[in-house]
Amino acid sequence: MKATIVLIANNEAENFGRKLMLDANKYGEMGFEMARLPQHVSLKQTFFIPNLEEMEEFFDNFAKELKPFEIEFVDIDLFPNNVLGGVPSGCMSLRVKETPQLLEAQRKLNEKLYNKFGPCPADHDDDYIFHMTFAIGGASFESYQRAYDILKKQDYKRKFVFNGLGLFYYDDDNIVPGTYFCYKVCNI
């Protein structure tokens, strides 16, 4: 089993991300896979957990240490992706400005995870780019490119408050659609 720990968007940012999801589908017909999760910015990508009960206790305690803060979107990105079923597809996201507050929240989380559980490696621990995904999988990369070419013409520079912490749970280590969801949200 695996988990991801994320900052949860406030309602305004959630609605902004959902509109982008709808627009991306309108232009690229990639579906709504990202609707499975709330709009979020990951602090820790997917990692193995010993059991859900221990992780939930850790999560609850960590949430008490955080306060809401602003996240600034700076642009839109498109990347190749084959996470859903190994089929070549795409991922569209809003790039997030890296700030001292965001980096400190991530550093503190990784330190506390290590102190509680030992090493908890995740993809991109050393080169993570903060982002908020609004479309992933469900169509060819060409469909994503078509939508991106239209959507990139907009200005994405906006700031939103993120006031929650989310714990995503993955019952299948391969992250197969239908085997993961947002298990818990805490206000911060």
Residue 63's H or E segment, with its range, is: helix 52-63
**Best CATH choice for the domain 2-187 from the list 1.10.275.10, 3.40.50.300, 3.30.360.10, 3.90.1140.10:** 3.90.1140.10
Amino acid at 34: M
**Residues 109-116: what's their mean pLDDT?**
97
Using one digit for the tens of pLDDT, what is the confidence trace for 137-163?
889 999 999 999 999 999 999 999 999
Q: Domain ranges in the chain?
A: 2-187
86 pLDDT tier (thresholds 50, 70, 90): low
Q: What is the pLDDT of residue 173?
A: 76
Say whether pLDDT at 179 is over 80: no
